[in-house]
A and B are shown apart, each in its own frame.
Chain A
Amino acid sequence: MVQIEQDILAKNNAYADANRKEWKARGLFAANLVSSPGSGKTTLLVETIGRLAGRHPLAVIEGDQQTSNDAERIRATGAQAIQVNTGKGCHLDAHMVGHAFERLDLAQGGLLLIENVGNLVCPAEFDLGEAHKVVILSVTEGEDKPLKYPNMFAASDLMLLTKVDLLPHLDFDVAKCLDYARRVNPKIEVLQVSAKSGEGMDGWLAWLEQGVAAAKH
């Protein structure tokens, strides 16, 4: 018999700790954006980058199983972006992200936005070294997603409810959705935003700016 007593994710967690240490030394604020496919993460990022208008050094790591479409959309804004293709994998891991980061040239005190693979299951378990996970849920999805994918909502510090400009056309029950999210995570912060109409974007930018300011030293 061999006693092991080792966390299955120990290896990933060690890489995540190394990333966290590296980013802390550089005074960077890193956020890991997670959601289902099609929630509008990339659109939201493009709009966010536009509104930040070069106020902070910024870089994006894009995770998708295939293609570099998303990184190209980000680069079109003028921001630097690295695409990571996970191939058969359904999530980014801390090792891939650490390597992608090495290829970026992000100045001290900057903002690192990591767009994870669209998947509400596995990315919940993989720490990348980020300061916060931000879960994005669009109002065109079901309001019970926090109950269906509780681990992701439990692992996230902020929930962005997106595409709220569409609410008048939908039966989406916002209050119910927030109640479900708080059942799995009583501490989760929530912001309602629309990249299209601009509603709530100020609050989201303020949240990012606060993170950037806190990470600087």
Chain B
Amino acid sequence: MSLAEGVLQIIEDHARTNGFARVKTVWLEIGALSGVETESMRFCFDAVTRGSVAEGAALEIVAVPGSSWCMQCGVSVPVAERYDPCPRCGGYQLQVQGGTEMRVKELEVE
């Protein structure tokens, strides 16, 4: 819920500085390893935007796949979850590289 409020805050800040009155679409970039559950984000977004410039806006979520650096193999490997082993060597000496994003990318406004 706080994350959805964070999104709304960013939208409202930009509404003030850029002078738009309505948001039609919001693009979010959400990493597979971030703490965001996309379905609850959708639900909370609808709830918190009621009565705001973003009321009824479409929410487009761009999923960013998870990737980690395997210290054993010395390469970047895809991972779906934080507790997944390296798909090459089966080890857990992994350092998360990508997939933790929680960003507001762009807005379609009028």
Contact = CB atoms under 8 A, between A and B. Distances in A.
Nearest to A126: B2
Contact of B6 (A2, A4, A12, A151): A12
A1 B103 CA distance: 16
6 contacts: A11-B9, A12-B6, A90-B1, A151-B35, A151-B82, A186-B93
Contacts of A91: 2
Given A1-B106, A89-B2, A182-B92, A6 B35 contact: no
A93 interface: yes
A151 to B, nearest CB: 5
Interface residues of B, number: 32
Contacts of B35: 121-122, 124-125, 151
Contacts of A89: 2
Interface of B: 1-3, 6-7, 9-10, 14, 18, 20, 28, 33-35, 71, 81-83, 85, 92-96, 102-109
Contacts, number: 84
Contacts of A2: 14, 18, 20, 106-109
Interface residues of A, number: 32
Nearest to A4: B104
A183 B6 contact: no
Interface of A: 1-12, 88-91, 93, 121-122, 124-126, 146-147, 150-151, 154, 180, 182-184, 186
B82 A93 contact: no
Nearest to B15: A2
